Chains A and B, each alone.
Chain A
């Protein structure tokens, strides 16, 4: 027996430390371009907070990175397979228990261990309760615990702290900080401070210019 506890072996995904470099990305919502020329680099162990007013295209950008919709142009260095996406909906089944919900997502992502996810989000006591009997904040915590069982290095999170109380936000902040220490990265659209060092990216300068306006200007130039 070693005299000190061995550190837990990180899930497979963390082994592949991955830079996320986005260059000159343009993306559309409902067929209309909302963002263009977006560029940033996210290194392993770092977090990037997306800022910008409502409707600027934070969700659109995150869905594009997660591979849910194609980019209009530009390049994304990391494949969608490196990203764990979490948005407003948690993907929970009301008639399955907390443990069953989490175990399902773990199996889909080829992982086995869900104990750490239950612990980090303080869900162990609720493990056998059906998801329909959880409060909004507890559901959110379960939805975020899913990120831990994906084993993917880059977390792409859209407003993760909605309906979380202060204590739960602290739990979530600690989980993200732990993920970063393990060599993961996180891209988070949020308006609040999560309690760890992170760079910020304001999307306002990347707002797509209306095409019709351009032609109007040219005509009168």
Chain B
């Protein structure tokens, strides 16, 4: 299973692998916002947590359709399904590779982009923590969506429609944790809810995604 993770990471950093696409998209979205709402730092600092979370979520969405589509097209998915590693493990490794190439860079880059939105200094730590807790759920839910739409021609739009509503709880609790942290209030509840959502998706969705792939491969 580790071999699969290593291969997916190697593919991501080779030519055309798409590593950094999500990060560049995140950067552009965040840079565009001050052009749209004006440079007043009071307004920007108020909306910064929400913008950063929505930006991270959309950047995650960008690379989801690649998770299984390429492996389906070149026959690798058939071969992985007949390999000794369980399909649930394949799904988990795919989600892990997606997180390492998307969620992790987004989490690390978010403080720098917070600067562009004049994010409250007290919020930087909470931003990184909430993204670190929440982005694995984004990758796992996205992998499930990709498993549902594998084999569909141009399933990317359908994938977005399926996945975005499922991202809502993560977005709400993630942004709320940052807002409360910035205001100096207790944000233990949203952080615990965020962690809970992530753990639940990691525990349940590999099985659902593997079942979806088995049906789609028939």
Contacts and interface: CB of A to CB of B under 8 A. Distances in A.
A91 B218 contact: no
B188 interface: no
A107 B7 CA distance: 11
Given A85-B82, A100-B10, A104-B7, A92 B74 contact: yes
Given A95-B16, A100-B10, A108-B3, A89 B81 contact: no
Contacts of B3: 104, 107-108
Contacts of A88: 75
A21 B143 CA distance: 38
Q: Is the interface of B mostly helix, strand, loop or mixed?
A: helix
Interface in A52-72: 66-70
Nearest to A92: B74
A110 B7 CA distance: 15
Interface residues of A, number: 27
B84 interface: yes
Contacts of A68: 78, 81-82, 217-218
A107 B93 CA distance: 15
A70 B218 CA distance: 8
A179 to B, nearest CB: 17
Q: Is the interface of A mostly helix, strand, loop or mixed?
A: loop
B17 A110 contact: no
A209 interface: no
Interface in A76-109: 80-81, 83-85, 87-93, 95-96, 100, 104-105, 107-109
Contacts of A90: 74-75
B84 A89 contact: no
A59 to B, nearest CB: 11
B13 to A, nearest CB: 10
Contacts of B17: 95
Interface residues of B, number: 24
Contacts of B82: 66-68, 80, 83-85
Contacts of B153: none
Contacts of A93: 7, 11, 74, 76
B16 A91 contact: no
A87 B84 contact: no
A68 B217 CA distance: 7
A207 B74 CA distance: 30
A29 to B, nearest CB: 9
B11 A85 contact: no
Nearest to B215: A69
A82 B48 CA distance: 56
B114 to A, nearest CB: 34
Interface of B: 3-4, 7, 10-11, 14-17, 71, 73-76, 78-85, 217-218
Given A104-B4, A108-B4, 17 more contacts: A67-B81, A67-B82, A68-B82, A69-B218, A84-B82, A89-B73, A90-B75, A91-B74, A95-B11, A95-B15, A95-B16, A95-B17, A96-B14, A100-B7, A104-B7, A109-B83, A110-B84
6 contacts: A68-B78, A90-B75, A91-B75, A95-B15, A96-B10, A108-B80
